[in-house]
A and B are shown apart, each in its own frame.
Chain A
């Protein structure tokens, strides 16, 4: 899924800032699924993804009167906000004491059972979870959100070569994580 063209988002944002109530609804309908979807893929948690999407859009509403058309794409700007919010949450998770984390119920057998019953999308999500944060963000932006490398570089605040490296390493790690799950995903049957 690709983000909408920047001109349309910027035009809608200008209309929103001028007091057009219809533009508010249109922008929310266009951007919320993109931001929620990205946050969900990166965080793997629906409640957190909702919070991130709402907060990112709230920042967009607040900055709308000062928005300077032509300086940045609206979609790039809000993806960057979402990426930063996700990074903050992921860091916070790592610093949260283990005692505060809910104990998963019997993880080993349930994970295997889940993989056997899950669709390929769920398997991909499970594999994404094992990637380092930056690799996961880059892979999601490139291969699921469908953004170009220069835009991803702007969102993540790194160079284009770094993005290429992150996505390449991310794909290799995904392949390794999925290697043991090929039968569960049905690839054994597909390949004969």
Chain B
């Protein structure tokens, strides 16, 4: 059975607990600084994937974009070089390539001439 005295004791004790909860001890600044320093010292290095490592190694996103553009242009020129450019493929491989004017095969030049 709970008596009035017990009730008063509980109320008084709860008042002390309430006071303790509402006034938590102040954390020393030096402690917080030490804990944060520990955290950073123990923190694992950020893991990067291969693509991220490649992008960083080549100088970042703008550099990779430039590299990709240059690669595409080089491929295009290699497949279909403009007339003003020498036939590097033929020079390197030692093969001479010629193109026939297809219009001549149909005799268009004779008709016009």
> Is B113 in contact with chain A by the CB < 8 A criterion?
no
Q: Which of A3-53 contact B (CB under 8 A)?
A: 16-21, 24-25, 27-29, 32-33, 36-37, 40-41, 46, 50, 53
Min CB distance B3 to A, Å, is: 13
Residue of B nearest to A65 (CB): B44
Q: How far is the CB of B26 from chain A (nearest CB, A)?
A: 9
Q: Does A36 lie within 8 Å of B25, measured CB to CB? A: yes
Number of interface residues of A (CB under 8 A): 45
User: What string of 1s and 0s marks CB contacts (under 8 Å) between A155-192 and chain B?
Assistant: 00000000000000001001100100010010100010
* A1:B24 contact, CB within 8 angstroms: yes
C-alpha gap A128/B27 in the complex (Å): 20
B20→A124 contact, CB < 8 A? yes
Which of A81-89, A91-99, A100-108, A115-123 touches B? A115-123
Q: Are A40 and B32 within 8 A (Cβ)?
A: no
A57 at the interface (CB under 8 A from B): yes
- CB pair A21–B15 under 8 Å, yes or no, is no
Also in contact, A178 and B12, with CB within 8 A (given A121-B23, A124-B19): yes
Which are the 10 A-B pairs with shortest beta-carbon distances? A19-B46, A61-B42, A24-B39, A143-B17, A124-B16, A28-B35, A175-B9, A28-B36, A120-B19, A50-B31
- Besides A21-B43, A191-B8, 16 other A-B contacts (C-beta < 8 A): A18-B47, A19-B45, A19-B46, A24-B36, A24-B39, A33-B24, A40-B25, A50-B28, A50-B31, A53-B35, A62-B42, A64-B44, A120-B16, A124-B16, A144-B20, A171-B10
